[in-house]
Structure formats: structure tokens, C-alpha cells
Amino acid sequence: MIKIKKLLDKSSGSAISEFLIFTLPFFTAFLIMITMIQQKAMAISESNNLARQAVRAFVTSPNEELALVRANQVIEIYRSTLSTSQLNSNKIELAISCTKYPCFSPGNMVIATISTASNQIASATEYVDLWR
């Protein structure tokens, strides 16, 4: 018991400094990991939303000639909100597919697929209304 007491009395280090030395590297790595996960989740959310908006613009178009123009306009409006560095690093491609042709037949399923340079692929499905 006396030996333990002598060892405790000789301890001149601070518990706070030891805590910081050991935990700060782990905390920094944890923050970096959480930030990367959050950025990936935001990219997925934006891609899904963009695909949904593009297919909605396509399906609600008054005629088939304007449909693809309207869907591409949604993509261009989104691109206009990006910074120049994001524009250069993030190519966005839109692909529209239909289960039956012509695409504007009543009840037809239309799928818009968005693919980005970061290998992010999102798709959304919408149906042409039955009263066309």
C-alpha cells in the first residue's frame, strides 16, 4: 500500500493533457469520417431529387417535343447553382427511358436516370397520366 501511495505522489503528469494527447487524434479522425459521410449523403439526396424533378418535368410536358427539353432544362438550372469547381468536377448526365413507345402513351412508365462523375447513379419513376 505504501508503494502505491509513493507512485501516486510521484505522478507529476496532468490527466487533462494525457487525455488530450490520446483522444485528439481519434476525435480528429472521427470528425473527418463524419464529414465525409455527410457529404456523400447530401450528394445522394441531391441526385435523387434531381432525377425526380427531371422525370416530373418530362411527364408533365404539354407534348413529346418539349419533354426532353424541359427535363434538360431542370439539369441546366441545377448546374447554374453550382460553383465553377463543382461544375468542372461533377459531370451530370440524364437518360430518359420509357416502357412503351411513344413515351406519352397514357399510363406509360417513364424512368429518369441521373449519373454523375463521382459514380453516383439515381433514378426516379413517374407515370404518364391516363387522360392524355
Q: Which pLDDT band, with edges at 50, 70 and 90, does 96 fall under?
A: very high
The more confident residue out of 93 and 6 is: 93
Q: How far apart are CA 40 and CA 61, in angstroms?
A: 32
Mean pLDDT of the chain: 86
Q: Is 119 left (phi over 0), alpha (psi -120 to 50) or beta?
A: left
Cα torsion for 34, 35, 40, 41, to the nearest 10°? 70
Task: List pLDDT tens digits, range 7-26.
Answer: 556 656 677 777 888 888 89
Q: Which of 89, 96, 99, 43 minimizes the C-alpha distance to 71?
A: 96
Task: List pLDDT tens digits, range 14-60.
Answer: 777 778 888 888 999 999 999 999 999 998 999 999 999 999 999 99
Q: Of all residues in the chain, what percent carry a pLDDT higher than 70?
A: 87
Supply the pLDDT for residue 9: 61
Q: What is the pTM of this model?
A: 0.75
